[in-house]
Amino acid sequence: MSTSTRPRLAAEHRTITGKKVATLRRAGIMPAVVYGHGHASEAIQIDAKEFELLRRHAGRNAILDLKIGTHRATPVILQHVAVHPVQRTPIHADFFVVKMSEEMTVDVPVEFVGEAEAIKKLGGSLLHQRETISVRALPDALPSAIEVDISGMDDYESTIHVSDVIAPAGVTILTDGAEPLARIQAPRETDEPVIAGPAAPVQETEDAEAGS
């Protein structure tokens, strides 16, 4: 039997709920929940630092082995992370149990690579029309991002559509191919500066001269 090479995250069943979870967070423990594929929704708790480290290195859409207490590790995907509105640190996570033999649909971020001639030589700007596209794949084949090469964009009319994207092996793109992903915007024209003419000489009145 082969050993899983997926990242592993340890968790414990959680009995503290509601506003009392603030005591867990102060102790460096983050509340979370796990559900999906026959797994009844279960409140769990995880080490906040361990979670942040794993999230930083595993990347988006990574499949993790979640081990709750002494139970067997279960493959899950990070479904949602709530963050503190001010500190922007994770305060709660949702994990979804996956079946490794069953395809799933997720939104994947788009990463633009390369250098467009219309930007480098013509001074245009790249406008992002979409930040993500929807894909379907087996859990092990889910990409953390889809790279889109913009080096072929050589004029102000250049537009990249979803249909131009080459999907990785085993991945099906579900977003409508006619949807634009990026386009080049021409530099904005600036109005010519108005140059004021020489000021007319000030003519002093007789009264001013008399009072001097």
pLDDT of the residue at 198:
54
pLDDT of the residue at 204:
46
pLDDT of the residue at 189:
67
pLDDT of the residue at 101:
94
Per-position pLDDT tens, the chain of length 212 = 456 789 999 999 999 999 999 999 999 999 999 999 878 899 999 999 999 999 888 888 899 999 999 999 999 999 999 999 998 899 999 999 999 999 999 999 999 999 998 888 888 899 999 999 999 999 999 999 999 999 999 988 899 999 999 999 999 999 999 999 999 988 876 555 555 555 544 444 444 444 43
pLDDT of the residue at 111:
94
Indicate if 16 and 92 belong to the same structural domain: yes
CATH number of the structural domain spanning residue 168: 2.170.120.20
The reply to whether 108 falls in a domain is yes
Q: Residue 165 is part of which domain span?
A: 104-185
Indicate if 79 and 34 belong to the same structural domain: yes
Burial 109-124 (b: 16+ CB within 10 A, else e): ebeeeeebbbbeeeeb
For 52, phi then psi, to 5°, come to -65, -40
The reply to whether 52 falls in a domain is yes
Rounded-to-integer distance, Cα 138 and Cα 104, Å? 6
Rounded to whole angstroms, what are the CA distances from 194 to 7, 168, 198? 63, 55, 13
DSSP H helices in 6-164: 21-26, 48-58, 117-120
Split into its structural domains, the chain has a count of 2
Cβ-based neighbour number of residue 150 at 10 Å: 19
